[in-house]
């Protein structure tokens, strides 16, 4: 039974990635074998779509059908001693990109934090509604006033 499980479930390092087919090849160092192109398991693929690929060198868990090493899937990535966790809290969901951009949701404080190292583009076919205050470079949209209006007096806050 143990040998059967070892042939069905394997851990290896990604050796190449094909972004056109969402597949990757995996090196299984203990056996000295490289897999065929294996589909990378995605959350959704029909109406709603999710897309991610592991990086070359990333550790992944693979499962194979009993028909052989050509029929398998990459289930996901696992952390190794070479990788640092982006967070160590049961209340945080974090996506940390290689360039330092970080998306973090803290369910304990109900806070979504986006730290982007580049521009952020929001494209909407309808309105963008904000119910809280918008603060840009320390200036409150709700509470700021201009020193002078056309009548010579200060303006009030936005309506």
- Give residue-wise pLDDT tens across range 49-73: 999 999 999 999 999 998 877 899 9
Structural domain spans, the chain: 2-77
The reported pLDDT for the residue numbered 58 is: 96
Number of H helices, E strands in the chain: 1, 11
For the cut 90, the answer to whether the pLDDT of residue 33 exceeds it is yes
For the cut 60, the answer to whether the pLDDT of residue 42 exceeds it is yes
**Which structure tokens are listed for 28?**
């299984």
The topology under which CATH files domain 2-77 is OB fold (Dihydrolipoamide Acetyltransferase, E2P) (2.40.50)
- What separation, in Å, do the N-terminal and C-terminal C-alpha atoms of the chain show? 71
Counting other chains too, the contacts that 27-36 makes at CB distance below 8 Å and 24 or more residues apart are 33/69, 35/62, 35/69, 35/70, 35/72, 36/69, 36/70, 36/72
The reported pLDDT for the residue numbered 156 is: 66
The CA-atom distances, in angstroms, between 91 and each of 63, 85, 101 are 30, 14, 20
For the cut 80, the answer to whether the pLDDT of residue 90 exceeds it is yes
Average pLDDT rounded to a whole number, residues 127-139: 90
For the cut 80, the answer to whether the pLDDT of residue 4 exceeds it is no
Residues 83 and 85: their CA atoms lie apart, in Å, by: 7
In percent, the amount of the chain with pLDDT more than 70 equals: 91
pTM above 0.85, yes or no: no
Confidence category of residue 112, pLDDT binned at 50, 70, 90: very high
């Amino acid at each position: 039974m143990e040998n059967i499980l070892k042939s069905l479930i394997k851990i290896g390092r990604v050796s190449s990635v094909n972004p056109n087919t969402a597949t990757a090849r995996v090196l299984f160092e203990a056996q000295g074998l490289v897999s065929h192109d294996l589909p990378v398991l995605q959350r959704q693929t029909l109406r709603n779509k999710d897309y991610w690929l592991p990086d070359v060198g990333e550790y992944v868990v693979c499962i194979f059908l009993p028909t052989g090493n050509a029929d398998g899937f990459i289930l996901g990535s696992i952390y190794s001693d070479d990788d640092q966790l982006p967070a160590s809290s049961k209340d945080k969901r974090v996506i940390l990109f290689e360039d330092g951009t970080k998306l973090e949701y803290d369910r304990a404080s109900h806070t979504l934090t986006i730290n982007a190292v580049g521009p952020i583009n929001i494209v909407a076919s309808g309105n963008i509604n904000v119910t809280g205050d918008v603060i840009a470079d320390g200036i409150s949209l709700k509470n700021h006033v201009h020193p002078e209006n056309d009548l010579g007096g200060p303006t009030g806050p936005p309506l």
